[in-house]
A = this chain, B = another copy of it.
Amino acid sequence: MEAFECIFCQKNYPVDPFHTFCPKCQEPLLYIGLQTDKKFYHNKDHPLEVMLDFLPLDRVNHDLSLGEGNTPLIRLKNVEKNFRLPALYAKNETINPTLSFKDRGTALVIQKAISLGIERIGTVSTGNMAISTAAYGARAGIKTFVLVKDGAHREILNSTGRYNPVMINVKGDYGELFRRSFSLGKKNNIYFTNSVDPFRIEGYKVTAFETFFQLDQRVPDFIFVPVSSGGHLIGIIKAFHELKQHGFIKKYPHFVGVQAEGCSPIARTFQAKKLSVERIKKAETIAKAISNPDPPGGNILLRMIRRAGGTIMSAPEDKILEAQRKLAELEGIFIQPASATILVGFLELAEKGKIGPKSRIVLILTGSGMKASGKTKQSDSQVLQASLSDLPGIIKSVKSD
């Protein structure tokens, strides 16, 4: 039987999108499906259909899809050469309908919600998730509530507002708003799908499955994922767990979650070998998209990463924009600072000799830098000035290096 499971209390609960946290210990619940033989349907085009046996869906309704997934996995040979690194791949989740990995989760949530007859959804977010949820809510034609933190960037509000959700700017503590949204949802018949929603996490699994098949069914040695609330990496680990469970793989990758130093409650807890994440007082990071001082998935992520093998580390703030710039200049991929943290983390582990020369590494790039270019560092690239008549001389003067 399918169920929601609390891995702390080792207790199962009925599958219910209005009850996604353990009533006993308040930790996030995870979805567990029917334990029959599972296979992948490689003759299908839509990734949710390819992975259907591994997902909490009976079918895929194409009218709810925005064409998410099937993102490229590309080798970063210029970065490899520049830093003398082993085989490095980027799974580019920024090439999704609303330019971030959130679409993976939202796509699955919307499929499930509509199949359950749910007519109103909501989310608490200040960024990528607000945009993604508003877009998919519009696509499904259902009323969508977006609760944003007071002081959210105007650009995010504008981008989210395009899809015409009910947007409410809420003054007060963000962690408190996150928790209260669920009871408000229950009372008002709104399915609040926040960062560690069990169905959202099921959607993130698809990224890991795709990566595995794009690597011709080889397991990467290391897989790097930016960490905010923890939901994304939880989904990635869960996918590899299921691949192992169903005999597709024998070993896990080494999972590396990376937080930005200015907001790294989970990394601090991991490094201190503690089990329970303490919220930090103030987040001060350039990586806004992963700035969560009170991550609801922190404890469960720590438990999962200790079981499967891995690390949660933090990236120094002063290296994040430099990594963002390097990836744009060396490979033509412009990501958010939040995504750049994993390049920083990877380079640090490589420098320390913790990554063998024959390793296969995957970086999961989570959000596009193009969404909010005004908020990141200006490029050092200079704009030369010319008239039509002095253009020939200026072009000639550019050195061929």
- Are B387 and A170 in contact, with the CB atoms below 8 A? yes
Which of B62, B63, B66, B394 meets A333, CB within 8 Å? B66
Q: Which residues of B contact A180 (CB under 8 A)?
A: 388, 391
Closest B residue to A140 by beta carbon equals: B332
- The 8 A CB mask of A372-401 against B (1 = contact, 0 = none) is 011000111111111110011011101011
Closest B residue to A165 by beta carbon equals: B381
- Are B398 and A143 in contact, with the CB atoms below 8 A? yes
Closest B residue to A67 by beta carbon equals: B72
Interface with B: A156-164, A289-297, A312-320, which one?
A: A156-164
Distance of A180 from chain B, by nearest CB (Å): 7
A interface, by DSSP: helix, strand, loop or mixed?
Answer: mixed
**Number of A positions contacting B (CB below 8 A):** 92
- Are B92 and A95 in contact, with the CB atoms below 8 A? no
Which of B160, B332, B378 meets A138, CB within 8 Å? B332
Instruction: Identify the interface centre among A96, A164, A385: most chain B CB within 10 Å of its CB.
Output: A164
Please, how many angstroms separate the alpha-carbon atoms of A371 and B98 in the complex? 11
Q: Does A356 contact B (CB under 8 A)?
A: no
Closest B residue to A385 by beta carbon equals: B169
Q: Which residues of B contact A138 (CB under 8 A)?
A: 328-332
- Are A66 and B72 in contact, with the CB atoms below 8 A? yes
Please, how many angstroms separate the alpha-carbon atoms of A378 and B161 in the complex? 8
Please, how many angstroms separate the alpha-carbon atoms of A147 and B158 in the complex? 31
Closest B residue to A96 by beta carbon equals: B95
- Are A168 and B74 in contact, with the CB atoms below 8 A? no
Q: Does A369 contact B (CB under 8 A)?
A: yes
- Are A168 and B388 in contact, with the CB atoms below 8 A? no
- Are A97 and B98 in contact, with the CB atoms below 8 A? no
Which of B65, B120, B164, B398 meets A74, CB within 8 Å? B65
Closest B residue to A189 by beta carbon equals: B400
By Cβ-Cβ distance, the 6 closest A-B pairs, closest first, are: A67-B72, A139-B332, A135-B332, A172-B388, A161-B381, A161-B379
